[in-house]
Amino acid sequence: MALFSSRNVKFLILSVCVFVTSLVSANFYNELDVTWGDGRGKILDNGNLLTLSLDKVSGSGFQSRNEYLFGKIDMQLKLVPGNSAGTVTVYYLSSTGSNWDEIDFEFLGNLSGDPYIVHTNVFTQGKGNREQQFYLWFGPTADFHTYSILWNPQLILFSVDGAPIRQFKNEESKGVPEEVVPFPKNQPMRIYSSLWNADDWATRGGLVKTDWSQAPFTASYRNFNAEACVVVSGTSTSCGTGGSASGNTAWLSEVLDSSEQENLKWVQKNYMVYNYCSDSKRFPEGYPPEYNIG
């Protein structure tokens, strides 16, 4: 059941900017730029592999060349192995400006043998504080796994290897005023990723510091894929009218079916370790408004 009609989706997109839809099975040379790290970020294997490294001097990072307004973004990551305590690998979408929107995957390193924590957050109009954290049901450093962000006019969905772990819905269709539970829908975002030192807070609240004898720390990326509305100036083709290279815009109205909803509940019951919506100490005067919306 879609929360928006196709007519409303089309109007929403056309009212903001002009787009084409693209299906990108990326060569990193063509789609991403290593933007900082003084050589610590590298594109290898003829553009099929990207690595980011961190040492005591600096981390590293990249960003997408394209901006997107809605998309289904997949990236395979192999996280920093061994004693990764103090390190953070982030993979996210973000707009710019003081009232930015942002959709975050953050991977908080840990001592050897202890699990990574996957930290998620959603910012709208510069406001975040919507953290949910999870353990993974596999070792994320031994092999590549797929971390996906679906962002369409109905929802934001975080998935791991195809399994949904979190959704953030657009509640405006239920009559909830935009200012009560704002949803990212107007600001184009780029993809960013970086590997950096955050031992002042990342591992057990900063109690465990980075062991620099283990440096350099390295995270690896491959198989970036984007079914997305790419912001393109000066074109008459829009995202919602079938003018895509792939012809596939099903993701634009995708929502979870009943089976996927059950899978989401199972993951959250068994692997969620923090949910801002149930943190009574943090919100003594009442939970955030989206908590009470059915």
Percent of the chain with pLDDT over 90: 69
pLDDT for res 14: 36
- Residue 206: predicted pLDDT: 79
- For position 293, what pLDDT does the model report? 63
Rounded CA-CA distance 267/165 in Å is 6
Q: Flag the least confident range among 178-187, 219-228, 284-293.
A: 284-293
- Per CATH, the number for 6-292 is 2.60.120.200
DSSP string, 237-270: --GGGT--SS---GGGG----HHHHHHHHHHHHH
- Residue 15 confidence class, pLDDT cut points 50, 70, 90: very low
pLDDT computed for residue 239 by the predictor: 60
For 160-176, the pLDDT digits (tens) are 999 999 999 998 877 77
Residue 92 has pLDDT above 80, yes or no: yes
Residues with a known catalytic role = 102, 106
Is it the case that residue 8 has pLDDT exceeding 70? no
Under 8 Å CB-to-CB from 256, ≥6 apart: which residues?
A: 155, 157, 164, 167, 264
CB 90 within 8 A of CB 193: yes
Asked whether the predicted pLDDT for residue 7 surpasses 60, the reply is no
The pLDDT of residue 247 is 52
Structural contact between residues 224 and 97, judged by C-beta atoms closer than 8 angstroms: no
The mean pLDDT value for 141-150 works out to 97
Write the burial class of residue 292 (CB in 10 Å: 0-12 exposed, 13-18 middle, 19+ buried). exposed
pLDDT tens by residue, 18-70: 334 444 457 999 999 999 999 999 999 999 999 999 999 999 999 999 999 99
Does the pLDDT of residue 156 top 80, yes or no? Answer: yes
Which DSSP letter does residue 235 get? -
With beta carbons less than 8 A apart as the criterion, state whether 60 and 213 touch: no
pLDDT at 2: 37
* Tokens matching residue 249: 């815009």
**pLDDT at residue number 171:** 87
DSSP 126-172: TB----EEEE-SS-TTSS-EEEEEEE-SSEEEEEETTEEEEEEE-GG
Give the position of tokens 């059950």: 262
Average confidence score pLDDT of the chain? 86
Which residues, in sequence order, are bridge partners of residue 71?
Answer: 151, 228
* Whole-angstrom distance, CA of residue 251 vs CA of residue 72: 7
Residue 11 predicted with pLDDT over 50: no
Is pLDDT at 1 greater than 70 in this prediction?
Answer: no
Is the pLDDT score of 242 beyond 70?
A: no
SS3 of the chain: helix, strand, coil, percent, to 5: 20, 40, 45
Q: What is the pLDDT of residue 287?
A: 83
Identify the pLDDT of residue 197.
94
